[in-house]
């Protein structure tokens, strides 16, 4: 029985100096192909369309409408980069774009699941993103953290792996406090950890740790797990998934 997992990679990991970080993308693609050999079925949720679009047309990204336009320009470029890298390993990848309300409709979820199942059965890696040109929720807030939790739950993955610019969840923000301690395993989240004000202008809640904790909470409530680890250095996630050793990263279970 194959183990189905979802890997979500955020835009901080996938971009560098306003463009796509190709080396990191290649490392991620290599990890996914390794996991496929270890009997994992991998669904990838990838940000990065806006950054890819920006390499072609440098519009002011502070405006939501420009980010929508950049996503439209960048999404095919992003997929082309993935296709080139997966081709090195003889793996086919595919693009699945969702509008934010797809999970509100049982009918749409059912159709989408049939397609995802079929892709996976054929060894193809589905690369999911929100259709940021028409539904701006994750573009404004969330950076696909919530989308990836829904993908994991509704498409029946046992684990969501979030690859972030932070290597774990700490008892306080490690970028602000030197004495922050990593929490290796978390099985319950407090209400206050899940509540940060949800406004597009709130730096903390945009992407950030709160949407990750909300995703973890959603998955734990539905009997699934989440692993948060570094997307810059894939050794912790590789150790956890392949060697079954929990060295770094946080497991929410």
Residue 132 marked in a binding site: yes
Q: How far is the CB of 211 from ligand ADP (least distance, A)?
A: 7
Helix or strand run (H / E) with residue 131? none
C-beta atoms surrounding 56 within 10 Å: 11
Q: How far is the CB of 228 from ligand ADP (least distance, A)?
A: 8
Q: How far is the CB of 161 from ligand ADP (least distance, A)?
A: 12
Q: For residue 34, what are the contacts with CB-CB under 8 A and spacing of at least 6?
A: 238, 242
Residue 17 marked in a binding site: no
Q: Using CB under 6 A, list all residues that contact ligand ADP.
A: 10-13, 143, 164-166, 169-170, 172-175, 207-209
Residue with smaller CB distance to ligand ADP, 119 or 251: 251
Residue 3 marked in a binding site: no
Collapsing DSSP to helix, strand or coil, 230 comes out as strand
Residue 128 marked in a binding site: no
Residue with smaller CB distance to ligand ADP, 109 or 174: 174
Residue 210 marked in a binding site: yes
Residue with smaller CB distance to ligand ADP, 172 or 222: 172
Give the C-alpha distances (Å, rounded to integers) separating 201 from 66, 68, 96, 140, 195: 17, 17, 29, 9, 15
Single out the residue of 243, 162, 247, 251 nearest to residue 209, CA to CA.
Answer: 162
Say what angle helices 208-221 and 145-154 make with each other, to 10 degrees: 10
Residue with smaller CB distance to ligand ADP, 112 or 210: 210
Q: How far is the CB of 58 from ligand ADP (least distance, A)?
A: 21
Q: Which residues are annotated as a binding site for ATP?
A: 8, 164-165, 206-212
């Amino acid at each position: 029985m194959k183990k189905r997992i979802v890997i979500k990679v955020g835009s901080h990991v996938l971009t560098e100096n306003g463009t796509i970080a190709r080396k990191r993308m290649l490392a991620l693609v290599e990890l996914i192909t390794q996991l496929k050999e270890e009997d994992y079925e991998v669904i990838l949720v990838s940000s990065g369309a806006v950054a890819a679009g920006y390499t072609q047309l440098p519009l002011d990204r502070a405006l939501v409408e420009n980010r929508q336009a950049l996503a439209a320009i960048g999404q095919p470029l992003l997929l082309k980069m993935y296709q080139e890298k997966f081709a090195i390993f003889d793996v086919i990848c595919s693009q699945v774009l969702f509008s934010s309300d797809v999970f509100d409709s049982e009918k749409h979820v059912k159709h989408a699941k049939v397609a995802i199942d079929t892709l996976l059965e054929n060894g193809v890696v589905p690369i999911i993103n929100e259709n940021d040109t028409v539904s701006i929720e994750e573009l404004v807030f969330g950076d696909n953290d919530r989308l990836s939790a829904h993908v994991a739950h509704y498409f029946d993955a046992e684990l969501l792996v979030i690859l972030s610019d932070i290597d774990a969840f700490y008892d306080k923000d490690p970028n602000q406090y030197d004495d922050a301690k990593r929490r290796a395993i978390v099985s319950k989240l407090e209400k206050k950890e899940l509540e940060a004000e949800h406004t597009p202008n709130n730096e903390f809640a945009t992407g950030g740790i709160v949407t990750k904790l909300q995703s973890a909470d959603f998955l734990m409530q539905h009997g699934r797990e989440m692993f948060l680890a570094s997307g810059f250095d894939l050794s912790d996630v590789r150790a956890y998934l392949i060697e079954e050793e929990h060295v770094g990263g946080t497991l929410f279970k």
